[in-house]
Structure 1
């Protein structure tokens, strides 16, 4: 049985929630926190879909202390996640967090549990990610993971004190809306972001009020970077994001597939020191540029056809295009250092 608490964040997708709950069932956590948003008044089928999702969440059939935070009305993704995690971390000192479309492979829970314990008292480490975002395995050497400036939240874990430090400097309460609120300006520490595209992306996120393009996760990462924290990025993908359908809140991309969940292998091989991996960080920033950079944003606005979008994604993420992007980025970095 897993002793680390698990938080499952859901809304109105009962089928995806059922699959994610099945993965959690295999780990049998002793504590499960269920955070579910309420129906939108502008969507007539939401009430039924939200009810069906909550019915799925009641299918906890192993010995488990279940905590529920079910919203009566729709809070929206930003508020549901942030206020939900505030509620979780007011009760426990650490947690593994899965949204309803993040399906974890069997290794993820043990991996997260071990690293949460290993770095519990190391305040340099803020996040444990289970998604590798397709970063090549060779960049990790013999290690099971690397330290980076940010990491995916498609299956992740953290500690209450880190989350609460974030919320102290980012105290958005959603009472007057979702506009970002900061008590300390977001200013990533020098050297954490290693590409110009990454620096530009997070500078735009820090200045933006667009909570669709730059949501709660970007602000979490900005706080980490500002306070000098690091994330853990795994050498293999252990959580697959399957929520690309028409019912997705942000990532609508029918036909898109994430990297399948794989085995990381135990015992874990730990890096020799807690320090940024420039090679892995560069690759993560290239991924971010391909999916969330200016060109990608413009392409989504121009290409309305799902077929054309799929073709564009395939071309951009091809091995040849990825290698070219990597080469040009490294060339630009050498030019700036010269």
Structure 2
């Protein structure tokens, strides 16, 4: 049975990953597929072949589907390719599921997202439906299928055109040389949405930073949500696995690193009783963000050059005892602050 929500597939030069993600999309059989393909980089002759092979895979779409192609003739870079590509998508459809080439979804991801897009279509408080659980323990959801959070992963996600267009009216970066300010509304944080000091500091840093590796297009999307009080939906189970680790990854090449595996969501979905930030789930998400992109992680990337040392440190920081200490410190800070 085909699904009605269009899928936007973001690709570049990784045909081996694109082929696997396209196979998952084929199983869902969306009626519309939007393909956002970046172009080859100058001075990288291998890109010519890899980009061509990646784009050729789109010609293998063999289910009833209207395929829309946005193939950049030259390399735009990740930031421009995604932002301008989604502008193009949401000029043509009122909602879409977004998958990058390295985000491999469980089959249940598609009906899960489609149901929630329909349920919250007319609720302006909800801005994003995420398929990645980021390893948050399922017990924190208290039996619900998802939780309301201040932000959520974009490793397999969805939104509506009006939310994306509202974001772009505020975050006006057009990737052309210009002296005009990018954000027309200063980034702020709604009280109670971010629940840890590290999370609040992280997004405060992102609002001031020009670093598009640590604070890319997704951080700017979340900053708009935080400013306007928008909420995301985070799943109780990880429905999408990011497999894009390695030498061909745009942001980081952590050989041997793995995301949490994708599993199936149970139906019928169990909805939270009220629209409010789940503090415990939000805390876990912010602690994940701190481990990956916090000040300590940024310091390590800048000054620890040995891949072996960084790998050992990453394993230690992500160990269960270290995470338990993080949770204890975070809760203690909250009690002191209150």
In structure 1, what is the equivalent of residue 256 of structure 2?
255
Q: Deviations over 1:169-224 (max 9, x none)?
A: 01111012899810000111111111110010000000111111100000000001
TM-fit CA distance, 1:55 = 1.1
Give 1:309 deviation, angstroms: 2.3
Q: Which residue of 2 aligns with 1:182?
A: 183
Which residue does 2:300 correspond to in 1?
299
Counterparts in 2 of 1:180 and 1:140: CA distance versus 1, 3 Å: farther
Which deviates the most, 40-49 or 87-96?
A: 40-49
| Alignment pair present for 1:264 and 2:246 | no
Mapped partners of 1:146, 1:44: distance in 2: 45
CA distance in structure 2 between the aligned counterparts of 1:52 and 1:329, rounded to whole angstroms? 47
| Residues 2 and 30 in structure 1, CA contact (< 8 A), matched pair in contact too | yes
CA distance in structure 2 between the partners assigned to 1:178 and 1:287 by the alignment: 35
For residues 132 and 178 of structure 1, do their structure 2 counterparts lie closer, same or farther at Cα, with a shift above 3 Å needed? farther
TM-score between both structures, scaled by the size of structure 1: 0.98
Who is 1:285 aligned against? 286
RMSD between superposed Cα atoms in Å: 1.3
Question: When the two structures are superposed, what TM-score results if normalisation uses the length of structure 2?
Answer: 0.98
Give, in whole Å, the separation in 1 of the partners of 2:335 and 2:260: 31
| Deviation sequence 1:266-322 (CA, Å, 0-9, x none) | 000000111111111111000000110011111122333333222221111111110
Match for residue 6 of structure 1? Answer: 7
Q: Is the contact between residue 170 and residue 181 of structure 1 (CA under 8 Å) also seen in structure 2?
A: yes
Matching residue of 2:45: 44
Q: Name the structure 1 match of 2:195.
A: 194
Residue equivalent to 1:78: 79
For the Cα contact (< 8 Å) 1:239–1:261, is it kept in 2? yes
8 Å CA contact retained: 1:178, 1:211: no
Matched residues in 2 for 1:192 and 1:178: separation? 32
Counterpart mapping for 1:59-138 below 5 A = 59-138=60-139
Unpaired runs of at least 5, structure 2: none
- Secondary structure of 1:106's aligned partner: coil
**Are 2:199 and 1:164 aligned?**
no
Distance 1:81 1:177, change over 3 A: farther
Q: Which residue of 2 aligns with 1:149?
A: 150
In 1, the alpha carbon distance for the partners of 2:9 and 2:179 equals 22
Change over 3 Å in CA distance of 1:83–1:58 after alignment to 2 = same
